[in-house]
Homo-oligomer: A and B are copies of this chain.
Amino acid sequence: MSEKQRGKASILFPEPPLVLAAASVVGKKEGEGPLREYFDRIEMDPMLGKKTWEEAESELQTRTTNLVIEKSGLKKEEIRYYFGGDLLAQLIATSFGIMDLEFPMFGIYGACSTMGEAMGLGSMVVEGGFADHVIVTASSHFASAEKQFRFPLEYGNQRPYSATWTVCGCGSVILSKNKGQKRIGGKKPLAKVAGMTTGKIVDMQFKDSMNMGAAMAMAALDTILVNFRDLGVDENYYDKIITGDLGQVGKRLLLDYLVKAGHDIESRYMDCGIEIFDEATQDTHAGGSGCGCSASVLCAYILPKIRDGVWKRVLFLPTGALLSTVSFNEGKSVPGIAHAVILEKPDLQS
Contacts and interface: CB of A to CB of B under 8 A. Distances in A.
Interface of A: 1-5, 8-9, 11, 51-52, 54-55, 80-81, 85, 87-92, 95-96, 98-99, 102-111, 117, 120-121, 124-125, 127-132, 147-148, 198-201, 203, 322-327, 330, 332, 335, 337
A124 B123 CA distance: 11
Given A89-B90, A106-B198, A109-B90, A335 B95 contact: yes
A96 B332 contact: yes
Given A91-B109, A132-B1, A200 B104 contact: yes
Nearest to A197: B104
Nearest to A82: B200
B92 A323 contact: yes
B128 A129 contact: yes
B111 A108 contact: no
27 contacts: A2-B129, A4-B129, A4-B130, A5-B129, A5-B131, A81-B198, A87-B90, A88-B324, A89-B90, A89-B324, A90-B111, A90-B322, A90-B323, A91-B322, A92-B327, A95-B201, A95-B327, A103-B200, A104-B198, A104-B200, A105-B200, A106-B108, A106-B117, A106-B198, A124-B125, A127-B128, A128-B129
B198 A92 contact: no
Contacts of A111: 90
A104 B200 CA distance: 4
A5 B201 contact: no
A275 B183 CA distance: 53
Given A2-B129, A81-B198, 9 more contacts: A2-B132, A90-B322, A90-B327, A91-B109, A92-B323, A103-B200, A107-B110, A108-B109, A128-B128
Contacts of A102: 200-201
Contacts of A8: 104
A54 B88 CA distance: 18
A114 to B, nearest CB: 9
A106 B92 contact: no
Q: Which 6 A-B pairs have the closest CB atoms?
A: A128-B128, A89-B89, A104-B198, A90-B324, A9-B104, A2-B129
Nearest to A9: B104
Nearest to A330: B52
A29 to B, nearest CB: 23
Nearest to A149: B90
Contacts of A203: 99
Contact of A326 (B54, B104, B129, B330): B54
B99 A201 contact: yes
A96 B327 contact: yes
Contacts of A117: 106-107
A258 to B, nearest CB: 20
B92 A109 contact: no
Nearest to A95: B322
A92 B54 contact: no
Contact of A130 (B5, B80, B96, B324): B5
Nearest to A81: B198
A53 to B, nearest CB: 9
Contact of A108 (B51, B107, B337): B107
Given A2-B132, A89-B89, A201-B99, A105 B330 contact: no
